Structure 1
């Protein structure tokens, strides 16, 4: 898998310590320069003569970014060429930060000893034990350091190479309070000429600022599900937003732009983004578990014809893989060779027993599937994340992967183990047979979680949010169960024997999944990006959707 051309050849080789000191010095000088310039620009923005200031800021900012990215390219090249050494350093980093009863291990970096002393644990089990049956608090961010910085710097450079115009002044805007860039650099974003107002705390203000700028080439959002909510809100509140733009709230009145917004909304959701921003080229969101459905809905409707790019894949609140290939349509990621310490647990298709022995990244085989295992530095825990990757290739000694599913999102009322990817395939197949329907979101619940279905055979309760279909006939509901039987022989056998009842499908109203995400995000320790669950394990979360059933 070829890596995009690097820039480090522009600079003479230096030691890592010297390069780090120079980088810190350059960033400090840049900060001291740009902050007063940004203030002057804000105060004098009404004068055309200050356009040179914006251009100067942009060039200086990109110079610093290119310099820093060149340093990161060089480090990445070295680490992927020497995977054994890189992982040994990552393990040493984890052991040095260990606390608690396992701290005697910090003096040893032997991988065999490390594996023998620390058993594998599952994140879901640990959270359940800690939470006492309540909604578990997601793992706090542990890896906000160099991995996040590297993903941001290399992602920006890769995006600019693939789409040279999207990061020009005034060409990009973020429409959510969260950024898709793991290290967003708010002050640097202003220097780069982002349309989004710095420090905004109102999502409506962000959307209005983007709508006032018809020349956008890149649209950013924290995650795909957040962007889906933005477009749904835009359709619901379009008249009010157009009125605000026409009245000059905020900024100068733009009645012509308000008329364009009204006309674009009248033509429906399909292709709306390109009608609002005719020069738009790419949508940037941060990838994480449970985002595929939202991406598919956006591609099919509002963002039809646009490319999607995620600078990284995040899990448990931290970066675990880098995306260096914006031109790839279905997300190829380079597993991070540095910290955190990552292992691969082979996934045995159809096997009764799970693998217990892990592999290092350099031992991955193309075409195989593995579950990611990360070591938590604070508690020194080897944690099975549940995220499953398919190895699509390699760069140097480092595996290039696609994320396929999460092992924690499994339906099993009689031991049938319907995985996230298998269920999504069946649901997509069924929705394709519902005339005019487009799937926006879905979640599943095992019937034992809901009191209202006691006495019936165990089955799945499936909640779907659709576009283009207001009611579900019994014939359409039955199609999902037939599709599940086609994709899972075990499920079909259980249905034939009557051990499992037919899956029950419920249509929820618009905003139901937005309310679910608000419930999930209400916990102070909730990481970003929040992984969207497809199988709900807690009754009060299932009831959020149950209360919003319309058909």
Structure 2
């Protein structure tokens, strides 16, 4: 079924707030449906009862697909117009932020001048803002999904792009979410079930969601909130495979499916590599939400359980909101457009891997290709200009807005003697080391500075590194030493400190299965835990580090 004609390009200056636009659109669709009710009722009565449900489901899917196509086309045209005039769009986003301000700087709501805005609102770090916001509005812990124009665009445009790249994914029963939270930033409960989701996300137990997905061999898309959580799902599937097979055979839930239970057992017997495609032969794509610290999980899934499948993330999200849109599912993953609407985004230049205090922010249209910037978001409720710590590199442009890839998080650096080992640098060193461990595949890792665990014992401060692996059950001393050598190769400063004995050798510990799942559960239980749950690579709290320390096996 083809898409309806594209609506005319709206005048950006006369647009009502996004929420009002959406409400108007839904009202028009509701009126159209009401006009169709009388003829639909006549057709309904003429059909046999057995055919009514199938006919209704087909009609529901066609209406939902047409609605998605129309609304996504409207959003894409709106996005194209705003990115063509990025400065004007950002001015409008700033005006919206200032109008909603209720913080100590709320008198600024009368101005939209960028220079005045910068002069009156100093930059703050995410940790500072978290302490200052007693209600935690900047980094919400109770909100499960994001709201705002960017999150709506990410969901609608992501669904439309997914439907275009994989036309059968949104067919009835084609998609299943195996985590309580959805990877889509803005839940659409009125649309997703009609577009083929086998199980709607919500407050459900992960095992029940997995059972529902396992009972549907025709799945074409598998969804999870993040790649790290999907890694936990597959690890649990291997550990509890027999219990799951027994539940399916016994009909818990639903009708007994002994044949499907036998297929599950057979698939598990062949090991983790390619397991997803053996369970769901028609599976095409894995959908997860990109957030900090997910690259290792994506790599592990792609090399083992989800081998041969495409990965798609509709957006990049941080604790401050959706900041990047993925418009190109056919391109290599990890490229995102920074949209010019709310939240209001600024870019702070990063010099030589260190942040200059006196540096001034630039707007999206002023970003330079090849340069690295730290993201700065303005919270519209308290008017806080917050440096998120997420560093991006500009790799291209879409109209006047930058296309970026996320490089690292500044808060995830290791430094016991001022050596400043950044997240991407440590990951490179660890990847080199694991590549020298025969048969090993890295699944997860986290680091702790020795002072957190009081593990120096009179020796020089050092790093405690916890790793989860496949294919290697014990770490020899020779293997452990390789990480320290690789760190010296990527960081001359670290090599110098090691030579003079100011920093001790990194200590590597292998943890058992489920250790990082337990860590993620502990993180989710923290009141300050943001959504999406970013995976920390450097732990700053002892009780979190002890979650891994208790699970060391080698």
Q: Which residue pairs with 1:374 in the alignment?
A: 377
The answer for the alignment partner of 2:391 in structure 1 is 388
Cα 1:47–1:352 change in 2 (3 A) is: closer
Q: 2:316 aligns with which of 313, 316, 320?
A: 313
Instruction: Give the Cα–Cα distance (whole angstroms) in 1 for the partners of residues 527 and 329 of structure 2.
Output: 33
Tell me what 1:451 maps to. 454
The worse-fitting range, judged by mean Cα deviation, of 91-100 and 269-278 is: 91-100
How much has 1:330 moved relative to structure 2?
Answer: 2.5
Contact 2:181 2:201 (C-alpha < 8 Å) held by counterparts: no
Partners of 2:137 and 2:86 in 1: CA distance: 35
Structure-to-structure mapping, 1:164-243, within 5 angstroms: 164-196=167-199, 201-243=204-246
2:103 is aligned, of 96, 100, 103, to: 100
The answer to whether the Cα contact below 8 Å between 2:104 and 2:382 also exists between their aligned partners in 1 is: no
Partner residue, 2:408: 405
Change in 2 beyond 3 A, CA 1:417/1:32: farther
Please point out which of 246, 251, 254 is paired with 1:251.
254
- How many Å apart are 1:22 and its aligned residue? 3.8
Structure 2: how far apart are the matches of 1:33 and 1:374?
Answer: 44
Matches within 5 A, 1:73-88: 73-88=76-91
1:345-364 to 2 correspondence within 5 Å?
345-350=348-353, 353=356, 356-364=359-367
Q: Which residue of 2 aligns with 1:437?
A: 440
Call closer, same or farther: CA 1:480–1:137 in 2, change over 3 Å.
farther
Query: Would the alpha carbon gap of residues 394 and 101 (structure 1) be closer, same or farther in structure 2, given more than 3 Å must change?
Result: same
Tell me how far apart the structure 2 counterparts of residues 32 and 240 of structure 1 sit (CA, whole Å). Answer: 48
**Following TM superposition, by how much is the alpha carbon of 1:160 offset from its aligned partner in structure 2, in angstroms?**
0.9
Alpha-carbon offset, residue 429 of structure 1: 0.7
**1:545 aligns to 2:548 (yes or no):** yes
Query: How many angstroms apart in 1 are the aligned matches of 2:203 and 2:94?
Result: 39
- Is the Cα contact below 8 Å between 1:274 and 1:303 reproduced in 2? yes
Q: Distance in 2 between matches of 1:84 and 1:497?
A: 52
Within 5 Å, give how 1:52-91 maps onto structure 2. 52-91=55-94
Partner of 2:283: 280
* Structure 2 match to 1:3: none
Deviation at 1:350, TM superposition (A): 4.9
Give 2:160's aligned residue: 157
Q: Which secondary structure does the structure 1 equivalent of 2:191 belong to?
A: helix
Structure 1 equivalent of residue 274 of structure 2: 271
Question: CA offset at residue 422 of structure 1?
Answer: 0.3
2:27 counterpart residue number: 25
SS in structure 2 at match of 1:286:
coil
TM-score relative to the length of structure 2: 0.91
Could you tell me whether the CA contact under 8 Å between 1:463 and 1:507 is conserved in 2? yes
Q: Shift of residue 318 of structure 1?
A: 1.6
Tell me if the contact between 2:10 and 2:78 (Cα under 8 Å) persists in the aligned partners. no
CA positional deviation for 1:199 = 5.1
Partners of 1:129 and 1:12 lie apart in 2 by 45
Deviations 1:476-505 (A, max 9, x none): 000000000000011001100111000000
Structure 2 alignment gaps of length 5 or more: none
Distance 1:385 1:545 in 2: 27
Are the aligned partners of 1:388 and 1:403 in contact in 2 as well (CA < 8 Å)? yes
Change (3 A) 1:485 1:525: closer
After superposing on structure 2, the runs of 4+ consecutive aligned residues of structure 1 that deviate more than 6 Å are 30-34
Per mean C-alpha deviation after superposition, the further-off stretch among 141-150 and 242-251 is 141-150
What TM-score do the two structures reach when normalised by structure 1?
0.92
Q: How far 1:30 sits from its partner (Å)?
A: 8.2
Q: Secondary structure at the match of 2:190?
A: helix
- 8 Å contact kept, 2:348–2:361: yes
* Cα distance in 2, alignment partners of residues 505 and 103 from structure 1: 50
Range with bigger deviation, 315-324 or 228-237: 315-324
Residue 468 of structure 1 pairs with residue 464 of structure 2: no
SS at match of 1:452: coil
2:7 counterpart residue number: 11
> How far apart are the structure 2 equivalents of 1:352 and 1:522?
32
Residues 83 and 236 (structure 1), Cα distance of their counterparts in 2 relative to 1, 3 Å cut: same
Deviations 1:375-406 (A, max 9, x none): 11111111000111111110100101111110
More deviation, 348-357/281-290: 348-357
Q: Does 2:418 align with 1:418?
A: no
Preserved CA contact (<8 Å) 1:8 1:73: no
| Structure 2 CA distance for partners of 1:31 and 1:177, relative to 1, 3 Å | farther
Take 1:33 and 1:310, find their aligned partners in 2: how far apart are those partners? Answer: 37
Q: 1:524 and 1:357 mapped to 2: Cα distance?
A: 33
Structure 2 residue matching 1:453: 3-state secondary structure: coil
Cα RMSD, aligned residues only: 2.7
Residues 8 and 74 of structure 1 are in contact (CA less than 8 Å); yes or no, is this contact kept in structure 2?
no
In structure 1, stretches of 5+ residues that fail to align are: 1-5
Structure 1 counterpart of 2:307: 304
- Aligned residue pair count: 537
